[in-house]
Amino acid sequence: MNQRVPFYKHQLDSIEQESIAKSLKSEMLSSGPKCVEVEQQLKVFFNVKNCKLVNSWTNGALATLLAMNIGPGDEVIVPSMTFIATANVVEILGATPIFCDVDSETLLMTLDCVKSLVTPKTKAIILVHLYGQMCDVKSFKDFFGSTEIKLIEDCAHSFESDYKGDKPGTYSNAAIFSFYATKNITCGEGGAIITNDDELYEVIEQTVLHGMTVGASKRHENGAFKVWDMNVLGVKANLPDILASLLPSQISNAMTKLDLRIQKVLNYDTHLDLTDAKIPVRHHKGVHAHHLYPIYIPNGLRNYAIKTFMDEGIGVTINFRPVHEMNYYRNRYNIRNSELKISSDWGSGVISLPLYPNLEESNQNRVIDTLNEKIAPRLRKAAKS
């Protein structure tokens, strides 16, 4: 029997075990000195003024949108080719997600995709750096910078990325990361918000913690109890120190781990028979974080491909079915696929292959052999008929 090839494997090890054990000995298990330390580390990594660790991308985005005072009557432009959370956070707050399509080659949002969707109700645009390749945030900043429209970056795939040398957080009002179990950097559940906007950050510090004016760790500062109030509505988005303790070593090693992922990517690029399949175009305008290795299986053969991989014990997944096609959004907004053609088409055929720094060579070869020997011939036949 062949060894199973999991879709994802984390690489947390003895360093993280020691770190979490230390954390358990501290007095308070909630957000404390460890979070402050990691926030400092992230501020340096991204060269930004402010950083707040959160317990998920989703809660971080809710806190950010709340701090921007976004709610009923407001519109937020989001891509349909993304994970549902990007749109859900808008919907949860009673605002309306306006779905945009993406560039046909890179599958990224561009100014051209977004411009025609802007109305007087548009309050924000969430730019998704899909699969680890960054959108041109500066072009959005140049166009929208003089308006009230806020730019938010969904960096769930793009921790290591840059665009022409500019990292996330450089041109947006806020950039939000995910440290969920399958992301490049993970603490099981977690995330971070970074921003250079001091005024916004002051409110985010409150909206991540119920809206309280003084956070728990600061209530007893300098020996005196600080009476707190609540000026804005917030969520409970703070990350506990226990989970934050898993992050410092991963952040330090992020670029080394990226190099290992790039080797796997090049191996796929060189050896996969993609004659009748395709991968997104890489724009080569900066560092690609290669969070995922997506390939498009045409001619309605995706289910066949998934079954073939699964029969071989190889974990594959779909990133993503377009959000507007989800039952909830279909029932609510009924957007036709012809209105979001590129996202709908890509979403009908995309699968992601296993990709992580410790993916064994023999296992990766099995993924390649399975595609080339069992799936590609079937694609060839379908392409001819």
Ligand X SMILES: *Cc1c(COP(=O)(O)O)cnc(C)c1O
| Residues found near ligand X in the complex (CB under 6 A) | 56-58, 82-83, 85-86, 128, 154, 156-157, 178, 180, 191
Helix (H, G, I), strand (E, B) or coil at 253: coil
Which tokens in the block code for residue 161?
A: 């990325």
Q: Cβ(324)–Cβ(333) under 8 Å?
A: yes
d(CA 85, CA 197): 24
Alpha-carbon span 154 to 127, nearest angstrom = 6
Q: Are 72 and 249 in contact (CB under 8 A)?
A: no
**Shortest Cβ 191–ligand X spacing (Å):** 5
Indicate the residue type of 164: K
Minimal distance, residue 49 CB to ligand X, in Å: 23
**Which CB, 85 or 109, lies closer to ligand X?**
85
For 98, the token pair is 């306006």
Give the C-alpha separation, 219 to 353, whole Å: 48
The HSE-up count of residue 151 (CA atoms within 13 Å, CB side) is 30
For residues 16 and 243, is the Cβ–Cβ distance under 8 A? Answer: no
Give CA separation, 122 vs 22, 46, 97, 148, 175, in Å. 46, 28, 10, 9, 19
Residue 233 parent element (H or E): none
Q: How many CB atoms lie within 10 A of CB 30?
A: 15
Taking CA atoms, 128 is separated from 107, 159, 293, 383, in Å, by 10, 12, 16, 32
Residue 189: phi and psi, rounded to 5, are: -135, 135
Closest CA relative to residue 206, chosen from 94, 86, 52? 52
Cα–Cα distance for residue pair 141/172, rounded to 1 Å: 7
Rounded to an integer, what distance in angstroms lies between the CA atom of residue 9 and that of residue 252? 19
